Amino acid sequence: MTEDMSIESYLAAGGILSNPTNVPPRYRAELMKLMATFVDSELAGAAGFADIINAGPGIKERIAAARIVLEKTDNADKVLSIMGDFGADTARYASHHPWTARLDRNAGIATSRSEHDMRLAVFNYPLNGWADAVVMNLLMGRAVAVQMADFSMVSYQPLAEAFRAIAPVESHHADLAEEGLQRLLEGGDKPSIQASVDYWWPRVAASFGSAGSTRADALKAMGLRKSTNAALQTRWLGEAGAVLEGLGLKAG
Amino acid sequence: MSRFHDLSVTDINKTIRDAVVVTLKPTNGALGEFDFTQGQYLTFRRDFDGQELRRSYSICAGKDDGILQVGIKRVDGGAFSTWANEDLAVGDTVQAMPPMGSFHTPLDPGADKQYLGFAGGSGITPVLSILKTTLAREPNSTFTLVYANKAVSTIMFREELEDLKNSYMGRFNVIHILESDAQEIDLFTGLVSQEKCAELFKGWIDIDHVDTAFICGPEPMMLGIAAALREHGLTDAQIKFELFASAQPGRASTKAASGKAASSARETTAVITLDGATQTITTSKDVSVLDAALQNAMDAPFACKAGVCSTCRCRVIEGEVEMASNHALEDYEVEKGYVLSCQSFPVTDKVVVDYDQ
């Protein structure tokens, strides 16, 4: 058996790693960033949504919202425990940061993240009432579904498995949002729902990152990315656009 | 945070010339902590010349064997494996963390599945644990093992595998592939490559009905087998990998002695290496190493900036830094010079750090 292959070339050839004992330092760092981005986004998303539960128009809606908060927090926990395998203090991680903190609704932050956590920029914008939250959850839910499909193939097997378990749960959240939006539209108030779509559409679109990301090749060589930002965004534009069209709304 | 426990060595058994099977018994009431899942590994620590070394070895016992056992093959130049093979004795105490690892799938007594395992050399240890446990706990499932070795004399657990074949007649099958020893069937000589797998799938292995495959071996072998399995329709969710590279990080050199003493100057020269490129930056001692790198357009890794997650870990090669807080690195990492760059402020007038180590 030839045993002289470096881990780097093993990864570049599509190799899979399964434990923290032999991950190269740069791989470790990029993997941790990827996981932190997911965990922070889920925790921030769940925290933001928790505040909106009581704004639900009926008990069914509140149950759905509460369930989304529960499951997003659980999804964060699944990935955080993998960060724990690498030494992260998981107990402190969840409590070290005000996950409900938001910027101004019109803050022009584009794709830049805050100083203190790795949540996707879109999670720094505050929700503006129940219908707005449902719209955001639908658009972001579809975006997460697209990203999960890519992340389910990452080269760190425990994380790929976590994402494969998380993907259908997140996808269901988007389904719940779609049903919720359908009911809201039946009750009228289409213009304000369209206004929410117009608000969230470019912000969610930006969450896929810039097309000219310089890290893409390095991440690809480590097996931490398969598709480009642009390819993922294009998929989402198509899928989310079709859902909106089905609801009689216009993509932003 | 990791917790090491004492375990006493109750038996040592040489399975081949350069590999031992070590039976361990947790002491001090830590028995429950070591209730493992088949396919998991233990991480040991030991001091060599004043420096702590950690090594992970897979458990080779099955869940129903009622014992905790790891296989340790001697690696050329490997301090820990050589020590375990030559000096470790019954009655000694070793230290290990509770079992870790996700190289397993859930078992179901009612399942009727076909498993396929690939092991290269000492990669047999977790696969042995998996197959023993699976055969015992899923009475309707079958397991085929493709086991690659250099020669007959280097086959770990050869007799144990023969015994298992007899105990589980018709449910367990082993195909030995030997690199250098000729066998009756030509196909069974050589390396387990993608092409070899394709040949095996023609008549020897019913690949169309395999539910789950386990692979543990050196990198090129894992790649070849995975490619063959995918080519024959298995999805990534059906393939479980475990890589214990021959390249488990080598013995880290000791932390560089700080070249210069701390001074009262408020500025420092930071030499920062990231992705193979090195930048020399003049920065304030009140700026963290991470911020100094970020302010100079280096794409240094970070996430929490609170000393909690360890994404920003780097290694101090020269000079000294002070960490404001550290909730993620362990003492042995700090001893080797690893720091959380988001929490590290230069103390000396020159610091050299490396994110690539």
User: Among A204-213, B9-18, B57-66, B220-229, where is mean pLDDT lowest?
Assistant: A204-213
Do the beta carbons of residue A39 and residue A120 sit within 8 Å? Answer: no
State yes or no: pLDDT of B258 exceeds 60. Answer: no
Q: Is A93 on the interface with B (CB under 8 A)?
A: yes
Residue B28 has pLDDT above 90, yes or no: no
In a 3-state reduction of DSSP, which class is residue B269?
A: strand
B129 and B223 belong to one structural domain: yes
Residue B208 maps to which CATH number? 3.40.50.80
Q: Is the pTM of this model over 0.90?
A: no
- For residue B320, tell me if it sits in a domain: yes
Complex ipTM above 0.85?
no
Nearest to A159, CA basis, from A10, A33, A26, A1: A33
Q: Which residues pair with B148 in a beta bridge?
A: B120, B177
Alpha-carbon gap, residue B258 to B167, rounded angstroms: 61
Beta strand B350-354 with B267-274 is: parallel
pLDDT at B262 over 70: no
Assess whether B90 and B120 both reside in one domain.
no
Q: Which of residues 204-223 of B touch A (CB under 8 A)?
A: 217-223
CB contact under 8 A, A2 and B218: yes
* Min distance B266 CA to chain A CA atoms (Å): 25
Question: Mean pLDDT across chain B, nearest whole number?
Answer: 90
For B286, the domain range is: 267-354
Residues of A with Cβ-Cβ distance to B221 under 8 angstroms: 1
Number of domains in chain A: 1
Label residue A140 by pLDDT band (50, 70, 90).
very high
Structural domain count of chain B? 3
Using the Cβ of B324 and the Cβ atoms of chain A, whether some distance falls under 8 Å is answered with: no
Would the CB atoms of B223 and A33 count as touching at under 8 Å? no
B119 and B22 assigned to the same domain: no
pLDDT band (50, 70, 90) for residue B212: very high
Q: Is residue A235 part of a domain?
A: yes
What pLDDT sits at residue A210?
77
Contact of A112 with chain B, judged by CB distance below 8 Å, is answered with: no
Q: Which has the closest alpha carbon to B311: A30, A139, A233?
A: A30
Identify the pLDDT of residue B331: 84
* Shortest Cα distance, chain B CAs vs residue A94, angstroms: 10
The residue out of B180, B209, B242 marking a domain boundary is B242
Question: In whole numbers, what is the pLDDT of chain A averaged over residues?
Answer: 90
Instruction: Decide if A12 is inside a domain.
Output: no
Whether B254 shows a pLDDT value over 60: the answer reads no
B165 domain-assigned? yes
Tokens read off for B342: 């988001």
- Domain assignment present for A8: no
- Based on C-alpha coordinates, what's the Rg of chain B? 24
Rounded to a whole number of angstroms, the distance from the CA of B260 to the nearest CA of chain A is: 27
Closest among B261, B259, B266, B262 to B283, alpha carbons compared: B266
The closest of A12, A17, A149, A224 to B301, measured between CA atoms, is: A224
Task: Give CA–CA dist A63/B296, Å, rounded.
Answer: 48
In the chain, the amino acid numbered B240 is K
- Mean pLDDT throughout B189-210? 94
Backbone angles phi and psi of B290, in degrees to 5: -65, -50
Tell whether A247 is within 8 A of chain B (Cβ). no
- Is the pLDDT assigned to residue A192 strictly greater than 60? yes
* Residue B235 and residue B207 share a domain: yes
How confident is residue B1, by pLDDT bands cut at 50, 70 and 90?
A: very low
- pLDDT at position B253 is 38
State the Cα angle at A247 between A241 and A251, rounded to 5°.
Answer: 30
* CA atoms of A82 and B2, how far apart (whole Å): 14
A27 located within any domain: yes
Average pLDDT for residues B40-49, to the nearest whole number? 90
Note down the domain range covering A197: 19-246
Query: Which of A22, A115, A218 comes nearest B247 by C-beta?
Result: A22
A17 close to B (CB below 8 A): yes
DSSP conformation class of B314 = E
State whether residue B181 sits within 8 Å of chain A by CB: no
Asked if residue B101 is part of any domain, the answer here is no
**Among B102, B103, B304, whose Cβ lies nearest the Cβ of A117?**
B304
A74 within domain boundaries: yes
A53 located within any domain: yes
CA distance B150 to chain A (A): 7
Report CB contact under 8 Å: B56, A26: no
Asked whether B141 and B112 are in contact (CB, 8 A), the reply is yes
Same domain for B30 and B121, yes or no, is no
- CB of A66 within 8 Å of a chain B CB? The answer is no
User: Are B275 and A37 a contacting pair at CB < 8 A?
Assistant: no
